[in-house]
Amino acid sequence: MKKIIVPIDFSEHSEYALETAAVLAKKYDAEILALHMLELSNALISNAENMQQEETVFYLKLAEKRFQEFLDKDYLKDAKVTPLVKHFKVFSEVSEVAKEHDADLIVMGSQGASGLKEVLIGSNTEKVVRHSDIPVLVIKENPILTDFENVIFASDFSKDAIKPYLNASKMMETLDAKMHLVYVNLPDNQFRSSTEIEKRVATFLKEAEGNLDKMKQVAYVNDYSIEKGVLNYSNIIGADLIAVATHGRTGLAHFFEGSISEDIANHSTLPVMTFKI
């Protein structure tokens, strides 16, 4: 891990993300790209009149000053931090910054107890998740522990889940974390017998890994919803992080064959890391 992007809006939640990124950056000798998205109108930016040019420069200088003050944190000492002020209009362009700088991870904060449903759907964080080709780590609370030792990756073990699974596996190797695979079996029309599940998992692992070595590492959980199964299992194993696959076109609203995933984040106090399908 070499570069971590942290979008900054000067909120408490973006500071949570910044502090988490600082811990990761120091641990892996990575650079933090602290990104402030200054929303200036195209008219203000492109207008050639002196008055408006001066106004643009004023806003840019003001943002840079406030940004430097925000970055004056004790936990950033000994961390390599590069501030970036961009005058993009939409947060979806964070992905362009990630590509430009060849970043490995985006870390963002969410609005605490309200959960990710309100924050992600139609929000800046949701836009970043939808457009990002690299993992996005969403932090809900003030980081206490950032050592991700046990991570849950819940999957439907479909063909679409292979790419995010492989990307998650690679990331967890980098974080030196143990990834626990879990399949949640539901009592409705999605119910599958033990034989059906094992055949599905075997097909998945054979294509993803080329072998069946991890068959015994997959936990099968029976519950009334996927989110309940994932959260209950995370409590059982003492997970530090929940990893989920997301469709770019619909964000967190669809994964596990189109079922709802934001409920997992709504009811979880754990950080959530997303991997694009």
For the chain, give the percent of residues with pLDDT over 90: 43
Closest to 7 measured CA to CA, from 175, 125, 87, 118: 125
220 Cβ contact list (under 8 Å, min separation 6)? 182, 183, 185, 194, 197
Closest to 154 measured CA to CA, from 211, 229, 207, 237: 229
pLDDT of residue 270: 86
Nearest 5 degrees, angle CA 242-CA 114-CA 220? 30
Tell whether the model's pLDDT for residue 53 goes beyond 60.
no
> pLDDT tens across 142-196, in order?
776 678 999 999 888 999 899 999 999 999 999 999 999 999 999 987 799 999 9
* pTM reported for the whole predicted model: 0.83
Tell whether the model's pLDDT for residue 89 goes beyond 60.
no
Other Cβ atoms closer than 10 A to 155: 24
Which domains are delineated in the chain? 1-141 (3.40.50.620), 147-277 (3.40.50.620)
> pLDDT tens across 224-271, in order?
988 889 989 999 999 999 998 876 655 444 444 334 455 565 567 788
pLDDT of residue 233: 94
pLDDT of residue 205: 97
Which 3 state secondary structure label does DSSP give 42? helix
Q: Is the pLDDT higher at 191 or at 46? A: 191
pLDDT of residue 43: 47
pLDDT of residue 112: 43
pLDDT class for 91, splitting at 50, 70, 90? low
CA distance 263 to 277: 19
pLDDT of residue 139: 87
CA distance 123 to 118: 8
Question: Residue 32 has which token pair?
Answer: 């933090």
Residue 108 phi, psi dihedral angles, 5° rounding:
-135, 155
Mean confidence (pLDDT) of the chain: 81
